[in-house]
Amino acid sequence: MKFLKSNETIFRLLRTIVQGIIGVLIANLDTITGAFQIPDIWKPIIAALVMAILSPIMAEIGKNKDNTEE
């Protein structure tokens, strides 16, 4: 849980990297599964939208950290 709750620089960086990876994976679901046809122009927009959704969620998780860990 330290990964999700810590506001240390390294953990914030790692969370940002994970968010980027999730965004790219979701944007490229058509390539991964072959079941969807997503135009190439939409892929960066999808990745950015995923990041925009995940960033506030991760920030809220970080705000609610347990003070007993420190």
pLDDT digits (tens, 9 = 90+) for 38-57: 888 988 888 889 889 988 88
Evaluate if residue 68 carries a pLDDT over 60: no
Pairwise CA distance, residues 70 & 49, whole Å:
33
Contact present, 50 and 23 (Cβ < 8 Å): yes
- Residue 13, both tokens: 């960086």
Residue 57, helix vs strand vs coil: helix
**pTM value surpassing 0.85:** no
* 64 confidence band (pLDDT: 50, 70, 90): low
Query: Quick check: is 48 in a domain?
Result: yes
Query: Quick check: is 70 in a domain?
Result: no
Pairwise CA distance, residues 42 & 10, whole Å:
31
Range of the structural domain that residue 15 is part of: 2-65
Query: Quick check: is 16 in a domain?
Result: yes
Query: Quick check: is 58 in a domain?
Result: yes
Q: How many domains, in total, are found in the chain?
A: 1
Query: Quick check: is 55 in a domain?
Result: yes
Query: Quick check: is 18 in a domain?
Result: yes
